[in-house]
Structure 1
Amino acid sequence: MAESVIGKKSFDFAVNIINFYKRFSSEKKEFILSKQILRSGTSVGANIREALNAQSTMDFIHKLSISQKECDETIYWLELLSATDYISKEEFESLKAPATEILKMIRSIIITTKNKTHNS
Protein backbone atom coordinates (compact mmCIF):
# COMPACT_ATOMS: atom_id res chain seq x y z
CA MET A 1 0.00 0.00 0.00
CA ALA A 2 1.37 3.41 -0.94
CA GLU A 3 2.12 5.73 1.95
CA SER A 4 -0.24 8.66 2.26
CA VAL A 5 1.12 12.19 1.96
CA ILE A 6 -0.39 13.20 5.29
CA GLY A 7 0.96 10.04 6.91
CA LYS A 8 4.48 10.90 5.73
CA LYS A 9 4.23 14.58 6.68
CA SER A 10 2.89 13.78 10.15
CA PHE A 11 5.60 11.16 10.71
CA ASP A 12 8.33 13.59 9.66
CA PHE A 13 6.77 16.23 11.93
CA ALA A 14 6.80 13.79 14.86
CA VAL A 15 10.51 13.10 14.24
CA ASN A 16 11.18 16.86 14.29
CA ILE A 17 9.18 17.24 17.50
CA ILE A 18 11.13 14.43 19.17
CA ASN A 19 14.42 16.02 18.12
CA PHE A 20 13.16 19.40 19.35
CA TYR A 21 12.20 17.82 22.68
CA LYS A 22 15.62 16.22 23.11
CA ARG A 23 17.42 19.53 22.45
CA PHE A 24 14.96 21.67 24.38
CA SER A 25 14.88 19.54 27.51
CA SER A 26 18.66 19.12 27.62
CA GLU A 27 19.62 22.73 26.74
CA LYS A 28 16.87 24.65 28.54
CA LYS A 29 16.28 22.14 31.34
CA GLU A 30 12.55 22.67 30.87
CA PHE A 31 10.51 19.52 31.31
CA ILE A 32 6.84 20.44 31.73
CA LEU A 33 6.16 22.36 28.52
CA SER A 34 8.54 20.18 26.55
CA LYS A 35 6.61 17.03 27.59
CA GLN A 36 3.34 18.68 26.55
CA ILE A 37 4.63 19.45 23.07
CA LEU A 38 6.17 15.98 22.82
CA ARG A 39 2.83 14.35 23.64
CA SER A 40 0.66 16.46 21.36
CA GLY A 41 3.17 16.66 18.51
CA THR A 42 3.67 12.91 18.28
CA SER A 43 -0.02 12.18 18.80
CA VAL A 44 -0.87 13.92 15.51
CA GLY A 45 0.73 11.20 13.41
CA ALA A 46 -0.38 8.38 15.68
CA ASN A 47 -4.02 9.37 15.24
CA ILE A 48 -3.57 9.84 11.51
CA ARG A 49 -2.13 6.31 11.37
CA GLU A 50 -5.19 5.07 13.28
CA ALA A 51 -7.48 6.95 10.88
CA LEU A 52 -5.81 5.30 7.90
CA ASN A 53 -6.73 1.96 9.48
CA ALA A 54 -10.23 3.00 10.51
CA GLN A 55 -13.05 0.48 10.54
CA SER A 56 -15.62 2.88 9.12
CA THR A 57 -15.99 6.35 7.66
CA MET A 58 -17.21 7.68 11.01
CA ASP A 59 -14.21 6.11 12.76
CA PHE A 60 -11.93 7.70 10.13
CA ILE A 61 -13.46 11.14 10.75
CA HIS A 62 -13.28 10.67 14.53
CA LYS A 63 -9.58 9.73 14.48
CA LEU A 64 -8.76 12.63 12.18
CA SER A 65 -10.71 14.97 14.47
CA ILE A 66 -8.53 13.89 17.38
CA SER A 67 -5.45 14.45 15.23
CA GLN A 68 -6.75 17.91 14.33
CA LYS A 69 -7.11 18.82 17.99
CA GLU A 70 -3.64 17.51 18.83
CA CYS A 71 -2.11 19.45 15.95
CA ASP A 72 -3.81 22.66 17.04
CA GLU A 73 -2.66 22.02 20.62
CA THR A 74 0.91 21.61 19.38
CA ILE A 75 0.68 24.98 17.63
CA TYR A 76 -0.59 26.46 20.90
CA TRP A 77 2.44 25.15 22.83
CA LEU A 78 4.76 26.48 20.11
CA GLU A 79 3.10 29.90 20.31
CA LEU A 80 3.44 29.87 24.08
CA LEU A 81 7.13 28.92 23.93
CA SER A 82 7.75 31.65 21.37
CA ALA A 83 5.83 34.32 23.31
CA THR A 84 7.85 33.58 26.44
CA ASP A 85 11.18 33.56 24.55
CA TYR A 86 11.93 29.92 25.27
CA ILE A 87 12.48 29.40 21.54
CA SER A 88 13.70 31.68 18.77
CA LYS A 89 11.42 33.00 16.04
CA GLU A 90 13.31 30.81 13.55
CA GLU A 91 12.78 27.66 15.59
CA PHE A 92 9.14 28.61 16.11
CA GLU A 93 8.57 29.05 12.38
CA SER A 94 10.45 25.86 11.48
CA LEU A 95 7.97 23.86 13.58
CA LYS A 96 4.83 25.95 13.18
CA ALA A 97 4.86 25.98 9.37
CA PRO A 98 4.64 22.18 8.95
CA ALA A 99 2.15 21.93 11.82
CA THR A 100 -0.07 24.50 10.12
CA GLU A 101 0.22 22.67 6.80
CA ILE A 102 -0.74 19.37 8.43
CA LEU A 103 -3.65 21.02 10.26
CA LYS A 104 -4.99 22.44 6.99
CA MET A 105 -4.66 19.04 5.31
CA ILE A 106 -6.50 17.31 8.16
CA ARG A 107 -9.32 19.85 8.07
CA SER A 108 -9.63 19.51 4.30
CA ILE A 109 -9.75 15.70 4.49
CA ILE A 110 -12.43 15.83 7.21
CA ILE A 111 -14.58 18.27 5.21
CA THR A 112 -14.19 16.28 1.98
CA THR A 113 -15.02 13.01 3.71
CA LYS A 114 -18.09 14.49 5.41
CA ASN A 115 -19.29 15.95 2.10
CA LYS A 116 -18.86 12.61 0.32
CA THR A 117 -20.68 10.84 3.15
CA HIS A 118 -23.60 13.27 3.07
CA ASN A 119 -23.84 13.17 -0.74
CA SER A 120 -23.92 9.38 -1.03
Structure 2
Amino acid sequence: MNQIEFKRRTKQFGLAVIRMTEKFPETRLAWVVKDQILRSALSVGANYRAVCRAKSDKDFINKMRIVEEEADETAYWLEIIEESGLLRAEELDGLKKEINELVSMVVASIRTKSTNLNKER
Protein backbone atom coordinates (compact mmCIF):
# COMPACT_ATOMS: atom_id res chain seq x y z
CA MET A 1 0.00 0.00 0.00
CA ASN A 2 1.42 3.40 -0.90
CA GLN A 3 1.41 6.62 1.13
CA ILE A 4 -1.56 8.12 -0.68
CA GLU A 5 -3.73 5.06 -0.09
CA PHE A 6 -2.69 4.80 3.56
CA LYS A 7 -3.43 8.51 4.10
CA ARG A 8 -6.88 7.98 2.58
CA ARG A 9 -7.51 4.89 4.65
CA THR A 10 -6.54 6.52 7.95
CA LYS A 11 -8.68 9.56 7.16
CA GLN A 12 -11.67 7.37 6.28
CA PHE A 13 -11.19 5.50 9.53
CA GLY A 14 -11.25 8.77 11.48
CA LEU A 15 -14.43 9.85 9.71
CA ALA A 16 -16.04 6.47 10.45
CA VAL A 17 -15.22 6.91 14.15
CA ILE A 18 -16.82 10.38 14.08
CA ARG A 19 -20.00 8.85 12.61
CA MET A 20 -19.90 6.03 15.17
CA THR A 21 -19.67 8.42 18.13
CA GLU A 22 -22.76 10.27 16.91
CA LYS A 23 -24.73 7.17 17.96
CA PHE A 24 -23.64 7.48 21.60
CA PRO A 25 -26.26 8.24 24.26
CA GLU A 26 -26.17 11.65 25.95
CA THR A 27 -24.45 10.60 29.18
CA ARG A 28 -21.32 11.69 31.03
CA LEU A 29 -19.65 8.31 30.37
CA ALA A 30 -20.39 8.56 26.66
CA TRP A 31 -18.99 12.09 26.53
CA VAL A 32 -15.71 11.04 28.19
CA VAL A 33 -15.25 7.98 25.98
CA LYS A 34 -16.23 9.94 22.87
CA ASP A 35 -13.60 12.56 23.63
CA GLN A 36 -10.90 9.93 24.14
CA ILE A 37 -11.61 7.82 21.07
CA LEU A 38 -11.94 10.86 18.82
CA ARG A 39 -8.55 12.11 20.00
CA SER A 40 -6.78 8.80 19.38
CA ALA A 41 -8.59 7.82 16.17
CA LEU A 42 -8.11 11.19 14.49
CA SER A 43 -4.50 11.24 15.67
CA VAL A 44 -3.76 8.09 13.66
CA GLY A 45 -4.26 9.89 10.35
CA ALA A 46 -2.80 13.19 11.52
CA ASN A 47 0.37 11.52 12.75
CA TYR A 48 0.67 9.43 9.59
CA ARG A 49 0.75 12.67 7.62
CA ALA A 50 3.76 13.65 9.75
CA VAL A 51 5.36 10.29 8.88
CA CYS A 52 5.10 11.21 5.22
CA ARG A 53 7.29 14.25 5.96
CA ALA A 54 9.95 12.28 7.87
CA LYS A 55 13.44 13.65 7.36
CA SER A 56 15.28 10.35 7.82
CA ASP A 57 14.67 6.65 8.32
CA LYS A 58 15.05 7.08 12.09
CA ASP A 59 12.54 9.94 12.03
CA PHE A 60 10.18 7.74 9.99
CA ILE A 61 10.43 4.93 12.55
CA ASN A 62 9.88 7.25 15.51
CA LYS A 63 6.85 8.90 13.90
CA MET A 64 5.40 5.52 12.90
CA ARG A 65 5.71 4.36 16.51
CA ILE A 66 3.45 7.27 17.46
CA VAL A 67 0.94 6.13 14.83
CA GLU A 68 1.16 2.61 16.27
CA GLU A 69 0.50 3.88 19.82
CA GLU A 70 -2.49 5.97 18.75
CA ALA A 71 -3.96 3.11 16.71
CA ASP A 72 -3.53 0.69 19.61
CA GLU A 73 -5.15 3.19 21.97
CA THR A 74 -8.07 3.48 19.55
CA ALA A 75 -8.47 -0.32 19.60
CA TYR A 76 -8.59 -0.10 23.40
CA TRP A 77 -11.37 2.50 23.33
CA LEU A 78 -13.36 0.36 20.88
CA GLU A 79 -13.14 -2.48 23.41
CA ILE A 80 -14.32 -0.13 26.18
CA ILE A 81 -17.24 1.04 24.04
CA GLU A 82 -18.33 -2.54 23.46
CA GLU A 83 -17.76 -3.85 26.97
CA SER A 84 -19.43 -0.86 28.64
CA GLY A 85 -22.50 -1.32 26.47
CA LEU A 86 -22.32 2.10 24.79
CA LEU A 87 -22.78 0.32 21.44
CA ARG A 88 -23.39 -3.28 20.38
CA ALA A 89 -20.52 -5.43 19.13
CA GLU A 90 -22.08 -5.64 15.66
CA GLU A 91 -21.88 -1.87 15.35
CA LEU A 92 -18.15 -1.96 16.06
CA ASP A 93 -17.02 -4.99 14.06
CA GLY A 94 -15.98 -3.05 10.95
CA LEU A 95 -14.04 -0.45 12.95
CA LYS A 96 -12.32 -3.10 15.05
CA LYS A 97 -11.30 -5.01 11.93
CA GLU A 98 -9.98 -1.86 10.26
CA ILE A 99 -7.95 -0.65 13.24
CA ASN A 100 -6.40 -4.10 13.66
CA GLU A 101 -5.41 -4.08 9.99
CA LEU A 102 -3.96 -0.58 10.31
CA VAL A 103 -1.95 -1.59 13.39
CA SER A 104 -0.63 -4.66 11.56
CA MET A 105 0.47 -2.58 8.57
CA VAL A 106 2.14 0.02 10.77
CA VAL A 107 4.02 -2.63 12.75
CA ALA A 108 5.13 -4.35 9.53
CA SER A 109 6.32 -1.04 8.12
CA ILE A 110 8.32 -0.26 11.26
CA ARG A 111 9.92 -3.72 11.18
CA THR A 112 10.82 -3.45 7.52
CA LYS A 113 12.32 0.01 7.87
CA SER A 114 14.23 -1.03 11.02
CA THR A 115 15.59 -4.14 9.32
CA ASN A 116 16.70 -2.15 6.29
CA LEU A 117 18.29 0.50 8.51
CA ASN A 118 20.22 -2.14 10.46
CA LYS A 119 21.47 -3.74 7.21
CA GLU A 120 22.94 -0.40 6.14
CA ARG A 121 25.15 -0.25 9.24
TM-score normalized with structure 1 length: 0.91
* Letter paired with 1:19: R
Counterpart CA distance in 2 for 1:87 and 1:67 is 25
CA contact (8 A) 1:36 1:77 kept: yes
Deviations 1:23-55 (A, max 9, x none): 32xxx0121001000000000011111001111
Cross-structure match for 1:117:
117
Output the amino acid matched with 2:40.
S
How many residues align? The count is 116
Measured in 2, the distance between the counterparts of 1:45 and 1:53 equals 13
Structure 2 CA distance, aligned partners of 1:106 and 1:5? Answer: 13
In the TM superposition, structure 1's runs of 4+ consecutive aligned residues that sit over 3 Å from their partners are none
Alignment partner, residue 103 of structure 1: 103
Structure 1 residues not aligned, in runs of 5+: none
Q: Quote the offset at 1:3 in angstroms.
A: 4.7
Shift of 1:81: 1.0
Gaps of 5+ in 2: none
- Give the root-mean-square deviation of aligned CA atoms: 1.3
TM-score after normalising by structure 2: 0.90
2:97 maps to 1:94: no
Identity %: 32
Output the CA distance in 1 between the equivalents of 2:98 and 2:68.
13
1:52-87 deviation digits (Å, cap 9, x = unpaired): 111111111111100100000000011011011111
Which residue pairs with 1:14 in the alignment? 14
